[in-house]
Amino acid sequence: MLSRPIDFELPDELIAHEPPEARGLTRDGVRLMVSRISSNAVAHTRFSHFPDFLKRGDVLVINTSKTINAAFEATREAHDGSISDVMLHLSTRLFGRGEPWVVEMRHRSATGTRPLLDAQPDEIIRLPGGGTARLVAPYTAGRKEFGSGGVRLWIAELWLPESALDYAQHYGSPIRYSYVPQSWPLEYYQTVFADEPGSAEMPSAGRAVTSEMLQELGRKGVRIAPLVLHTGVSSLETDESPYPERYHISYPTALAVNSARRLGGRVIAVGTTVVRALETAVGDDGYVRASGGWTDLVITPDRGIRSVDGLLTGLHGPKASHLAMLEALAGRDHVSRAYEEMLNQRYLWHEFGDLHLILP
């Protein structure tokens, strides 16, 4: 059970509406707040100084999932004969006949998109380039969404002229929400270390990391350990917890994490996706196992965190379920104080915004 979510007022002017490059910054030029759990002390700097806060023996765990063009302008053919313009978002690839995917349906207008909640089974969605999707059944993972107002996610059969990943490359665009008014090429939604396509949305905590920074960390004696977790679509309209996602942790990464903790080094996760994957694979003894498959883990303060010591993360919106994960790592008081500080210091939120490094 999730605890009462952390809530606050987020002014529109503190939302990053475009990539930092459009604001005259380099990728690593965004702001970074460092908060220490042991003392509640905070420091303000630029992300280019991130390596200064890591030391020899630390392990930095990154998610190498690559963002795909998961958004498609489409036409909905409803059972009553009506036809409407919609957006279809690919979320999570399933396995079976007709290349099934979990998809999100959204109304489309000149001012943005909003959830489409009145879809019905067997509706047909016409996609660009001759593609077709058929809504098969709601995908709720046993939950009711938006109260009794309808279903946001669907299992859909896709009938495409090529594989879904190739089709997305040719006909799709990155998922973006109304707070990002302008479209940006997919390269703006990729981390420099992304190498396995599959994420519907960018694992954004790693966006500011540069190749030069990774080299500097290596020279410093910090080990870089990759894993993969393919993100599904988030829900900005509700504070629902995350849905099942696919992940893979290799033996070398598990060994690096376990060795660091045994030898007194720190394990620093780049993003909540990394924490979700590692916590799925950690045993009661605190050791991470090489593993892969699906995770439906929801991390709460009651459950706690056993696999990481620190976290580099973006700034999460009011009542976001990710705040419960931060609370599990650092405690509610620490997270609340940190967010109050970032609000007061005018940090920028969401995937193109600033970053927060939580250290022991």
**Domain harbouring 49, CATH code:** 3.40.1780.10
Does any domain span residue 2? Answer: no
Per-residue pLDDT reduced to its tens digit, 188-244:
999 999 999 999 999 999 999 999 999 999 999 999 999 999 999 976 555 677 899
CB atoms within 10 A of CB 310: 23
| Spatial contact of 28 and 50, defined as CB atoms under 8 Å apart | yes
Query: Are both 63 and 89 inside the same structural domain?
Result: no
State yes or no: pLDDT of 147 exceeds 50: no
Residue 224: phi and psi, rounded to 5, are -100, 120
Query: Are both 255 and 148 inside the same structural domain?
Result: no
Query: Are both 196 and 294 inside the same structural domain?
Result: yes
Query: Would you place residue 1 in the very low, low, confident or very high pLDDT band (cuts 50, 70, 90)?
Result: very low
Query: Are both 156 and 262 inside the same structural domain?
Result: no
3-state class (DSSP) for residue 255: helix
3-state class (DSSP) for residue 24: coil
The model carries a pTM of 0.95
Per-residue pLDDT reduced to its tens digit, 70-87:
999 999 999 998 999 999
Work out the average pLDDT over 20-49.
98
Contacts of 149 (CB under 8 A, 6+ apart): 117
| Spatial contact of 160 and 99, defined as CB atoms under 8 Å apart | yes
Does any domain span residue 298? Answer: yes
Strands 267-270 and 310-314: parallel
Per-residue pLDDT reduced to its tens digit, 89-103:
999 999 877 679 999
Number of helices (H) and strands (E), helices first, in the chain? 6, 18
**Domain ranges, residue 90:** 71-171
The total number of structural domains that make up the chain: 2
Radius of gyration of the chain (CA): 20
Stated as kind and residue range, the H or E segment containing 87 is strand 83-93
CA distance 83 to 238: 27
Query: Are both 114 and 79 inside the same structural domain?
Result: yes
Query: Would you place residue 110 in the very low, low, confident or very high pLDDT band (cuts 50, 70, 90)?
Result: confident
| Spatial contact of 273 and 322, defined as CB atoms under 8 Å apart | no
Query: Are both 167 and 188 inside the same structural domain?
Result: no
Higher-pLDDT residue of 230 and 1 is 230
Query: Are both 37 and 122 inside the same structural domain?
Result: no
Average pLDDT, the chain: 94
Query: Are both 111 and 258 inside the same structural domain?
Result: no
Strands 310-314 and 355-359: antiparallel
**What DSSP letter does each residue of 151-216 carry, written as one string?**
-SEEEEEEE-SS-HHHHHHHH-B----TTS-S---GGGG--TT--EEEESS--GGGTT--HHHHHH
Query: Are both 155 and 262 inside the same structural domain?
Result: no
C-alpha distances out from residue 71 to 4, 195, 202, Å:
32, 20, 13
What sign has the CA pseudo-torsion 188, 189, 192, 198? negative
CA distance 136 to 245: 20
